[in-house]
Amino acid sequence: MTILRREDIVTLKKRALQTRRKRIRICVHRSDEEIVQEMFIVHAKNTYVRPHKHLFKKESLHIMEGRADILLFNKKGNVQKVIPMGDLRSGLTFYLKLENPTYHSMIISSETLVFMEITNGPFRKNETAFAPWSPDESDYDAVRVYRENLMNDVNSMK
């Protein structure tokens, strides 16, 4: 049995802000081999989520706290769709399920974003394809410029 309380999420939010990548997760599945992979994830506002797609998986996101724009891209790297998301009380979309391999990312607008992600297992790192037109997260200068351009694109689409 796994039980999480509000205090656990508060702790996760504090710890996420202390990490280099400004993110943290609790996996509630027991191993990478489990058929269902469930995670509670916290990202800070400036977290870079490199555009990626899952080759053989479905993925669902349930926003518990905070706000973010989910970005869906075409193969060339152009933003095709922006889905503003927030928790249930926000009046925005709070749940999203991606059924097909689609390049996606997010831009977080709240100080932290708390969400639950569920995907099918087993987890295989090589089954995630990072967009070749997006910078690796270790290239800080390129990431900063890329994120600024993305935010401009998103704002022009709203």
pLDDT over threshold 90, residue 35 = yes
d(CA 7, CA 97): 27
SS (H, E, C) 12-29: HHHHHHHCCCCEEEEECC
Global pTM reads 0.92
pLDDT over threshold 90, residue 1 = no
pLDDT score of 119: 95
User: CB neighbours (10 Å) of residue 14?
Assistant: 12
What residues form DSSP beta bridges with 86?
A: 67
Percent of the chain with pLDDT over 90: 89
pLDDT over threshold 80, residue 11 = yes
Select from 33, 35, 14 the least CA-distant residue to 23: 14
Length of the chain counted residue by residue: 158
158: burial class by Cβ within 10 Å (0-12, 13-18, 19+)?
Answer: exposed
pLDDT, tens digit, 9 for 90 and up, residues 118-148: 999 998 988 899 999 999 999 999 999 999 9
pLDDT, tens digit, 9 for 90 and up, residues 103-112: 999 999 999 9
d(CA 83, CA 94): 10
What residues form DSSP beta bridges with 84?
A: 69
Q: What is the mean pLDDT of residues 34-62?
A: 96
pLDDT, tens digit, 9 for 90 and up, residues 21-34: 999 999 999 999 99
